Amino acid sequence: MRLAERIAAHSGLDLEWTQKIIGTARLSEPIRQLVLPPKASAAPQRKNWNGYRARFVEPMRIRAGVKFRDEHREALQRAQTQFGVPAEIITGVLGMETLWGQQTGQIRVLDALVTLAVDFPQAHPRAAQRSVYFAEELEQFLRLMHDSGTDPREPRGSYAGDMGLPQFMPSSWARYGVDMNGDGRIDLWNADDAIGSVASYLRGKGWQTGLPVYYRIAADVPTSTLAALAATGLKPVRSIEELRSHGITLITTPGSAPPGDVQLALVELENRDQPSLWIAATANLRVLTRYNPSRYYAMTVTELGAAITASPSSP
């Protein structure tokens, strides 16, 4: 109830309504356990790019993606034109997040946000900060529901409160949500609105129109040289000339030559006991990691979207 008082005072929401809604939330122990970091194993395995990619860039998911692309081609094109984010990247994100709406989550968003705002597990190394974060997300959620006339007890999502096809948190919904179908409301469970909202989000995080996510490279140099150049992480700070001076060249196709002033990051994707894949990533790979911090996720979004774009329409 003290949290309800703080939210009502800060947001201008009616106190009685805020208390009533928060009072109906059910605390969930499974949610508390799910937000704890995984226990470190005694011998952690190296990551496996080929295995990770194969889980998502596979025939069944590609067919579902082609169906989504064909059904929403007009909205995808409008989003690409308006925000400068390629349709295949938008499609890839939605496919990775919820299989284009087939897996949006069944947990009440209200229960998830209240649980994590008032009873975040103290075993988490950043419990205090995370509790504050979820209290702020709860406030955003209540404001969104109140302003749209939606019962806050109805929406379902993930255990962390992510919602809709793009799995947005309430603050992302409030900041980047787009009414792409023009019905006067933003509905993240509507495919067209989700398409526009993903494009808006990526553009807001710095997507650079016209740049690919990465370039393949040719490099006959020691792994130690590659590792040294990759030490700066995903921040693109290497010029084409610098990479070339170390014996690394970009593999491009006719018409795909990068701008001469492009900045790149040398990035390793581990393949467990097989040789790693090394790429030259643009700033757009880093943008995709704002959606999900894994470089493997970002690359799979790119590869899944490309596979769908290259596939013909279903008969």
Distance CA(87)–CA(69), nearest Å, equals 9
The pLDDT tens digits for 120-142 are: 999 999 999 999 999 999 999 99
What are the DSSP calls for 205-262, one per residue? Answer: TT--TT--SEEEEEE-S-HHHHHHHGGGTTS--B-HHHHHHTTEEEE--TT-PPPTT-
Task: Look at residue 21 and tell me if it is in a domain.
Answer: yes
Note whether residue 225 is domain-resident.
yes
Task: State phi, psi for 265 to the nearest 5 degrees.
Answer: -125, 130
- Containing structural domain, residue 154: 1-34+105-162
Q: Are 267 and 234 in contact (CB under 8 A)?
A: yes
- The reply to whether 8 and 140 lie within a common domain is yes
Answer yes or no: is pLDDT of 315 > 80.
Answer: no
Judgement on whether residues 16 and 158 belong to the same structural domain of the protein: yes
Question: 97, 137, 139, 154: which is the annotated catalytic residue?
Answer: 97
The CATH number of residue 138's host domain is: 1.10.8.350
Residue 257 belongs to some domain of the structure: yes
Output the pTM of the full model.
Answer: 0.95
What's the rounded mean pLDDT across residues 175-185?
Answer: 96
pLDDT bracket for residue 36 (50, 70, 90): very high
Instruction: Note whether 6 and 148 are same-domain residues.
Output: yes
State how far the Cα of 94 lies from the Cα of 92, in Å rounded to an integer.
6
What confidence tier does 280 reach under pLDDT thresholds 50, 70, 90? very high
Same domain (yes/no): 11, 158: yes
Among residues of the chain, what percentage have pLDDT more than 70? 98
Quick count: other Cβ atoms within 10 Å of Cβ 37?
Answer: 9
What pLDDT is stored for residue 139 in this prediction? 98
| 265-271 β-sheet, strand order | 248-251, 214-219, 274-281, 265-271
Give CA angle at 123 (117, 129), nearest 5°: 40
Break the chain down into helix, strand, coil percent, rounded to 5.
50, 10, 40
Could you confirm whether 303 is annotated as catalytic?
A: no
**Cα pseudo-dihedral 198, 202, 208, 212, rounded to 10:** -70
185 SS3 class: coil
When the pLDDT of each residue in the chain is averaged and rounded to a whole number, the result is 95
Mean pLDDT calculated for residue range 274-278: 94
Band (253; pLDDT cuts 50, 70, 90): confident
Q: Up-side HSE of residue 45: CA atoms within 13 Å toward CB?
A: 8
> Which residues are CB-contacts of 250 (< 8 A; sequence separation ≥ 6)?
215, 216, 217, 240, 243, 258, 280
Residue 117 has pLDDT above 80, yes or no: yes
Task: Kindly state whether residue 242 falls inside one of the protein's structural domains.
Answer: yes
Question: What is residue 181's predicted lDDT score, i.e. its pLDDT?
Answer: 96
Instruction: With respect to residue 89, please indicate whether it lies within any of the assigned structural domains.
Output: no
The reply to whether 51 falls in a domain is no
Taking 90 as the threshold, does the pLDDT of residue 45 lie above it?
no
Question: Looking up tokens 């938008």, which residue turns up?
Answer: 90
Q: State what percent of residues in the chain have pLDDT above 90.
A: 93
User: CA end-to-end span of the chain, whole Å?
Assistant: 57
Domain assignment present for 251:
yes
Backbone angles phi, psi at 153, to 5 degrees: -85, -5
CA distance 57 to 83: 26
Number of domains in the chain: 2
118 and 22 inside one domain:
yes
What does the alpha-carbon distance between residue 205 and residue 209 come to, in Å, rounded to a whole number?
Answer: 12
The Cα–Cα gap between 111 and 124 comes to 19
What band does 38 get if pLDDT is binned at 50, 70 and 90? confident
pLDDT per residue over 6-17, tens digit each? 999 999 999 999
pLDDT at 256: 81
Same domain, 110 and 235: no
CA nearest to 188, candidates 122, 73, 105: 105
| Among 127, 142, 162, residue at a domain's last position | 162
Q: Are residues 115 and 17 in the same domain?
A: yes
Give a yes or no: residue 56 inside a domain. no
Please report the pLDDT score of residue 262 as a whole number. Answer: 95
